[in-house]
Each structure stands twice: as structure tokens, then as C-alpha cells.
Amino acid sequence: MTTESPRWFKSSYSENGGACVEVAANLAASRGIVPVRDSKDPRGPVLTITPAAWSEFVGGVKADGLSA
């Protein structure tokens, strides 16, 4: 069992008035999860997704494949 703690990361592009998320990608290899949370509410709920789902999401954002 690992005791590794999440190391939260927020993109340098997130200076958009606070509407951003934080990610703890350091747990992908050791625990097989990618925790995601609202940066405005760090004590609030955390969504955990698989590394594959996170990679697909990031790829879609980079390709501008996500629309509102």
C-alpha cells in the first residue's frame, strides 16, 4: 500500500477568473487514478478518473475537440 499524497497542479493557463481545475497526476502510476478538483473549493469533492480517460480528455482539449 502506498502512502503517496496528491500533489495538486493547476495549469499556468488558468488565469481566467478562477474557473479552473486542479489535478494530482502523480497518483496515476502508483494508484491508477487521476484526482481532479475545483480550484476554488480545495476541500470540496474530488472526482477520480482513470489515467486513460484523463489522457483522452487532455487530447481532446489540445485538439480543440470539445465544444460548449
| Domain boundaries defined on the chain | 1-62
pTM of this structure: 0.76
pLDDT over 80 (residue 1): no
Tens of pLDDT, residue by residue over 52-65, are 999 998 898 888 86
- Tell me if 25 sits within 8 A of 6, measured CB to CB: no
Tens of pLDDT, residue by residue over 13-59, are 666 666 788 999 999 998 999 999 998 898 999 999 999 999 998 89
**CA-closest candidate to residue 5, choices 39, 46, 57:** 46
